Amino acid sequence: MATGQVLFQRFYYSKSFVRCPVEITAMACITLAWKMEVGQMEIRHVINVFNHMKQFRNGEVFDPVILDRNYVALKNQVIRAETRLLKELGFCCHVKLPHKISIMYLRFLLADDNKKLVQSTWNFMNDSLRTDVCVRYSPETIACSCIWLAGRQLKIPLPENPPWYHVFGVNLSDIEKIAASIMKLYTRKKRAALPQRAIHRQKAVLHQSAMPRHQDEENGHALKDGSRMGVVEASPDLQVDVLVKRLNDLTKDLSQGLGRGLTLGNDITRKNTPGLHP
């Protein structure tokens, strides 16, 4: 999980949240991190976990993901997002986490027996992954900052003459900046759950963006029977494709009808007009 969060922060440090869907990218980061740390894993498990989390947040009944064409489209999007992630990172996916470093530093300070200090340091490091400090500072600096912050919170004195963090090549200004970024997390207001209508709209856009553009007939049925397929609103591109097809059909029928009318009119004119027929 920590490796996936670091990959997520690295990717969005240069990409836009608007152009790259956050949920799809998060699934791709978890999948790639699992492959790096553990081994091969089915994407279906990641999709089920994310679906369970959304249902829990919205207070819905827990239902597994149905293996239909919506699932296949979502799975293909995760695979493409994983490829995009590797391309953006230049296939340089090595992640050095500060967790093991902090334990080593605490042993050096002879403070690893204090379980409260160790647990508080570990908690601060987990919370730091929700910020961008992992892409702005080294893991050693983050580990020192979390130890410093945990010591101040629990009022545990640490060596100050000379300062203990100077031994590890870390300065106080970087420690204070990281600590300020972490503490800002606890002042954020909890994000309210999205309205049900907005959730359905996001699902509709996700589904329509994954459908092939050349399937005009299926797209037409999707517009007519959107509620049955779980699609509430169609994307503008889909509507344009269907309207263009209908306009071409009407134009073809109209041209055939006008052709028959002109032929019949010419025959009547030649019969009723002197000098136009033998």
Digit-by-digit pLDDT tens for the chain (278 residues) are 888 888 898 888 888 888 888 899 999 999 998 888 888 888 888 888 888 888 888 888 888 888 889 889 999 999 999 999 999 888 888 888 999 999 999 999 988 889 999 999 999 999 999 999 999 999 999 999 999 999 999 999 998 888 999 999 999 999 999 999 999 988 887 766 555 556 566 566 555 655 544 444 444 444 444 444 343 444 455 555 665 566 667 666 656 654 444 444 444 444 444 444 44
Contact (Cβ atoms closer than 8 angstroms) between residue 82 and residue 31? yes
* Ranges of H-type helices in the chain: 2-12, 22-37, 43-57, 69-88, 99-108, 115-128, 133-136, 139-154, 172-185, 196-210, 216-224, 226-229, 236-272
CA–centroid distance for 7 within its chain: 12
Cα-based torsion angle of the residue sequence 135, 137, 141, 144 in order, rounded to the nearest 10 degrees: -60
CB atoms within 10 A of CB 71: 16
Contact (Cβ atoms closer than 8 angstroms) between residue 204 and residue 233? yes
Alpha-carbon distance of 6 to 2, in angstroms, equals 6
pTM of the model: 0.64
Alpha-carbon distance of 88 to 90, in angstroms, equals 5
Q: What is the CATH number of domain 99-185?
A: 1.10.472.10
Question: Model confidence over 79-111: pLDDT tens digits?
Answer: 999 999 999 888 888 888 999 999 999 999 988
End-to-end CA distance of the chain: 92
- Catalogue the long-range contacts made by 117-123 (C-beta closer than 8 Å, 24 or more residues apart): 117/147, 117/150, 117/151, 117/154, 117/156, 120/150, 120/153, 120/154, 121/146, 121/147, 121/149, 121/150, 122/146
Contact (Cβ atoms closer than 8 angstroms) between residue 192 and residue 155? no
Contact (Cβ atoms closer than 8 angstroms) between residue 36 and residue 3? yes
* Residue-level pLDDT at 197: 58
Q: What is the CB-side half-sphere exposure of residue 227 using CA atoms within 13 A? A: 1
CB atoms within 10 A of CB 260: 9
In this structure, whether the domain defined by 2-88 belongs to CATH 2.40.110.10 is answered with no
H or E element: which one contains 95? Answer: none
H or E element: which one contains 166? Answer: none
Residues 6+ apart with CB under 8 A from 114: 156
Alpha-carbon distance of 39 to 27, in angstroms, equals 16
- Catalogue the long-range contacts made by 211-219 (C-beta closer than 8 Å, 24 or more residues apart): 211/73, 211/238, 213/237, 213/241, 216/241, 216/242, 216/245
Could you tell me the CA-to-CA distances from 267 to 105, 162, 254, 261, 272 in Å, in that order?
101, 110, 20, 10, 9
CA–centroid distance for 2 within its chain: 16
